[in-house]
Structure 1
Amino acid sequence: MKYYLIAGEPSGDLHGANLIEGLKKADPEAQFRFWGGDHMAAAGGAENLRKHYRETSFFGIVQVLRNLCTIRRQMRECQQDVAAYAPDALILIDYPGFNMKMARWAHDNGIRTLYYIAPKVWAWREWRVKAIRRYVDRLFIIFPFERDYFPRHGITPVFEGNPLVDAIEARRPALPAAEEFRRRNGLDKRPIIALLAGSRRGEIRDNLPLMVLLSKRFPEHQFVVTAVPWIDRTLYDRYLDGSGIRCVSDQTYQTLAAAEAAVVTSGTATLETALLGVPEVVVYRTLWFQVKLQPYVLKVPWVSLVNLNLGREAVAEIIQSDLSVGRAERELRSILPGGEKRTQMLADFDELRTVIGEPGASDRFARRMVEELKR
């Protein structure tokens, strides 16, 4: 069968690549064409990469408004390419701003549509549930708590685990020991605390200054920021100059593997940190009125995927608008070795791994997709 996949972000590229590998196992005659990135190109053939996510990723309202003409042109380009390829299935991977529009177009044009990694409608923009129900032929979900959410809205989803587990387990054997990580990056002997300030410019701008202030309370530790490679290093340097904090690029898992604890913004990174067994504090700084409106705007009681999947507050979530570090300091001290919350948090992370599911999710999802299309 012929598959057309669309991923518009680095995480979607990684999960799309693992899905392609699974589809090749489940369907030896599989042919691919896709929008994605380097990982998908390696899995499905560089000649089949129609558009790289570097050309299609626009974050935040300002960027979207500035690039509306480009986005509309890319949408038309994608639709024309899908129509010309005439796939047996269009597989949409997360990236809801673009992919929900593609789902509607595909539905109107009689193209079978599978949505892999559901939009986070349970947190905000719940109106998208109606569009999923109308335009998507089958929804594939990766969080256990979504198994209860979507049926309440008339959608029967497919859950086979979380492909993030596959990504982590594939890289775990190659992660360096703490001493080797220190040597490679010129670090001293002090214990490491990892700082994951987000993957978007706005998140880094808002959260990194608070993390710098927090680091000054822990001179006996060294703090290491995990920079993402698609953001210019000068943005990090703007806040880190003179702080003594080391910044490493594209080494998130390596840094976490060497760290005693982590301070993390909300998002997938909270789940990655927990699955790697690193105690964490979730800190997210935003505008004051967004903090006030959070209980009314968000449809869920927590922002971290750890707490959402466990159904309770296993990791502290500190959502604030100012640069106060008092509570963050207390929570961080409580999860360092000898802290009163560390043992329980590590036990919670063991439970989380059971809840999330075993490795092999990408292959299981691929088999279910092939079965669905053959039915």
Structure 2
Amino acid sequence: MAALVLEERPELAQVVRRLDGPELAHQRLLPAPVERPGGHAREPRAEQDRREPEAEERNLEDRAQDRHVPEDLEQDEDQDEETDEAQHGRIVFSRAVQDTRASVGACSVPALPVHGSRTIIHSVQDSRGPSPRAALTREVTRALGGALLLPLRVSEYLLGGDAARDELAADLAGFVPAPTAPEVPRLPERPIRIFISCAEASGEIHAGSLAGALRKLIAAARAPAPEFVGIGGARLAEQGVRVIGDPVARAAMGFDGVVSGLPFYARLLEDTARVFRSPERPDVFVPVDSPALHVPLAHTAQRYGIPVVHFIAPQYWAWAPWRVHGYRRAIDRALAILPFEPAWFERHGIPCAYVGHPLLDALADVPVHGSDGTARSLVILPGSRANVIERNLPWMLRVAQRLHAALPDAPVIVLQDDDKHEQHIAGHLRAAGGFARLALGDLHGHLGRARAALSVSGTILLDLMHHRIPAVVVYRVERRGEMWMYRHLMSAPYFASVNLLAGEEVLPEFCFRGEGPIEEIGRALFRCYNDTGWRARCRTGLDQAAKRLGPPGAADRAARHVLAVAAPRLAPGAAEAGR
């Protein structure tokens, strides 16, 4: 759908994508008034604190108005079409319930109405909200409107970008909060219905972990097992989630062309809207990462009165921050994985909680080997996707060959988690002269024996941080437009997450086009490998970054926030009290 074209520019998204997410603090500058929807200016924090009760009352009124569904939207639709769509959504969700109950042994309990600032009535006759086709049309219209405003947004940012950079710099340098999570609330006496969604492989891993954490918490509270339906792939289905669409497989096969993907994503949004509109509609929508898909879906969920909790908040703070205005209207609570993010989102009027980084859950049992005096190898980490490997590996081998010429006893190893690109990489190694070898699997075993690394930007940097390995980080772009956007539209001082966490350039980073400053990068890599004093300072910075990232347990904390948002709308008698 068109929203996928406009939510993110793919070129720059590749420059700062996840900033190793995926790539501290609540201390803030007092900002100038920020324009809010409807023309109201956001006051500096001190003034907000004095007017907090009044502001909260206005906020509740505004959100209630945003979530009101005009009846004339339904009256414009053909009654037979509405009945068919409602029935279709009910069938999709009913199948999900049956499959989920079969896998987890859920029992059947009478449904309770959801109420809060939204009222959801579970009956065919009273099902409210626009038709799925109308919901799709609305999001396409929203995207087209964003396209028309894009030149104005860019111009405004170019004029005021220094202020955005200063505010983010204050967030990075401020106090680092510990990850937080509320207590598990009192749960209803019927299964909570949860719609969980992911769009690519890493997000699916996190979505599966979150679904497992939700099951565990709900079981510990002795409440009926939850009923899951969602968007994802095979891994999510293994968690007992009834999958109604699979963008994960599409992304894995490389079908990421924007125009060619429009029909697929349009159908996906429309099918999701049918579930949202069905009598057994979800009690909460939980998208994971991937804002290009999930912000339009979140807007759609709001139209049907479904609260939204976004796990892994988008990195709008890094570039094109004007996108936060639409995000504010779509999300009830954002869950951040980097500790400085809540300050930024809250300054823009979005409830946000820091839950920690989900990668730390996977690293919890991985010992920290450290880069000690016995480690000898230089590891090359060229990425895990074919196009990224093709763009980076030949150039990285040219840089590493310089180090190998100066230090011939240093083994050079290209690391890959699996054999998916084995033949492709082997061809590049032969073309480079065979001085480097390929190692498949046992990533952390090889990292534990590494002395230094040359790596692309990505989540892999957190693995390097875990082992305290000095590294040079590169992002090699292909077009002049990408470099222009990197230089002019980025708000973040660094693109490597480790440097953002540390608040300084602990790992030398280089974003460039073509051959880039190859001599300078070669010297930086030699320093990483051979300069004892520099290596000691680097490891101190890595220690600081790891400390700021916090402890494991992100999935459990995220699950608690999901229940905290959903449960008040499920309380017995809530609907009657609000009528």
The interval holding the TM-score normalised by the smaller chain is 0.7 to 0.9
Describe the shift of the 1:30–1:249 C-alpha distance in structure 2 as closer, same or farther (beyond 3 A): farther
Cα deviation per residue 1:165-217 (whole Å; 9 max; x = unaligned)? 112224x16x9999xxxxxxxxxx99322222223343222211211102212
Note the C-alpha offset of 1:317.
0.5
Partners of 1:59 and 1:200 within 8 A in 2: no
Task: List aligned pairs for 1:13-92, cutoff 5 A.
Answer: 13-28=204-219, 29-42=225-238, 44-45=239-240, 48-57=242-251, 63-84=257-278, 86-92=281-287
Note the C-alpha offset of 1:12.
0.9
Corresponding residue of 2:325: 130
Corresponding residue of 1:277: 468
Q: Tell me which amino acid in the other structure corresponds to 2:267.
A: R
Describe the shift of the 1:90–1:250 C-alpha distance in structure 2 as closer, same or farther (beyond 3 A): farther
CA distance in structure 2 between the aligned counterparts of 1:226 and 1:49, rounded to whole angstroms: 33
Note the C-alpha offset of 1:94.
0.5
Corresponding residue of 2:335: 140
RMSD: 2.9
Residue of structure 1 aligned with 2:546, choices 353, 358, 362: 353
Partners of 2:332 and 2:351 within 8 A in 1: no
Partners of 2:199 and 2:231 within 8 A in 1: yes
CA distance in structure 1 between the aligned counterparts of 2:356 and 2:327, rounded to whole angstroms: 20
Residue of structure 2 aligned with 1:5, choices 188, 196, 204: 196
Corresponding residue of 2:415: 226
Cα deviation per residue 1:196-248 (whole Å; 9 max; x = unaligned)? 22233432222112111022122322332233659644443443333323334
| TM-score normalised by the chain length of structure 1 | 0.86
Q: Tell me which amino acid in the other structure corresponds to 2:564.
A: E
The SS at the match of 1:57 is helix
> Which of the pair is proportionally richer in strand?
1
Note the C-alpha offset of 1:32.
2.0
Corresponding residue of 1:181: none
Note the C-alpha offset of 1:305.
0.6
Task: List aligned pairs for 1:185-334, cutoff 5 A.
Answer: 191-217=376-402, 218=404, 219-227=408-416, 232-243=421-432, 244=434, 245-249=436-440, 251-287=442-478, 289=480, 290-323=482-515, 324-334=517-527
CA distance in structure 1 between the aligned counterparts of 2:263 and 2:249, rounded to whole angstroms: 13
Partners of 1:226 and 1:251 within 8 A in 2: no
Corresponding residue of 1:365: 558
Note the C-alpha offset of 1:59.
9.6
Stretches of structure 2 that go unaligned for 5 or more consecutive residues are 1-191, 220-224, 569-579
Partners of 1:122 and 1:300 within 8 A in 2: yes
1:154 aligned onto 2:154: no
Which range is displaced more, 217-226 or 231-240?
231-240
Stretches of structure 1 that go unaligned for 5 or more consecutive residues are 179-188
The SS at the match of 1:241 is helix
| TM-score normalised by the chain length of structure 2 | 0.57
CA distance in structure 1 between the aligned counterparts of 2:254 and 2:490, rounded to whole angstroms: 18
Partners of 1:281 and 1:316 within 8 A in 2: yes
Note the C-alpha offset of 1:72.
2.2
The SS at the match of 2:559 is helix
The SS at the match of 2:318 is coil
CA distance in structure 1 between the aligned counterparts of 2:528 and 2:300, rounded to whole angstroms: 49
Partners of 1:10 and 1:53 within 8 A in 2: no
Partners of 1:26 and 1:370 within 8 A in 2: no
Partners of 1:271 and 1:304 within 8 A in 2: no
CA distance in structure 2 between the aligned counterparts of 1:325 and 1:191, rounded to whole angstroms: 23
Corresponding residue of 2:117: none
The total of aligned residue pairs comes to: 361
The SS at the match of 1:115 is strand
Partners of 1:112 and 1:137 within 8 A in 2: yes
Note the C-alpha offset of 1:260.
1.7
Partners of 1:209 and 1:239 within 8 A in 2: yes
Note the C-alpha offset of 1:62.
6.7
Task: List aligned pairs for 1:335-346, cutoff 5 A.
Answer: 335-336=528-529, 338-346=531-539
Note the C-alpha offset of 1:292.
4.7
Note the C-alpha offset of 1:256.
2.3
CA distance in structure 1 between the aligned counterparts of 2:316 and 2:253, rounded to whole angstroms: 18
Partners of 2:291 and 2:314 within 8 A in 1: yes
Describe the shift of the 1:332–1:320 C-alpha distance in structure 2 as closer, same or farther (beyond 3 A): same
CA distance in structure 2 between the aligned counterparts of 1:105 and 1:294, rounded to whole angstroms: 32
Cα deviation per residue 1:132-164 (whole Å; 9 max; x = unaligned)? 210111111110121221122111201122111
Q: Tell me which amino acid in the other structure corresponds to 2:411.
A: Q
Note the C-alpha offset of 1:249.
4.4
Note the C-alpha offset of 1:57.
1.7
Q: Tell me which amino acid in the other structure corresponds to 2:450.
A: A
Describe the shift of the 1:155–1:248 C-alpha distance in structure 2 as closer, same or farther (beyond 3 A): same
Describe the shift of the 1:328–1:122 C-alpha distance in structure 2 as closer, same or farther (beyond 3 A): same
Corresponding residue of 2:576: none
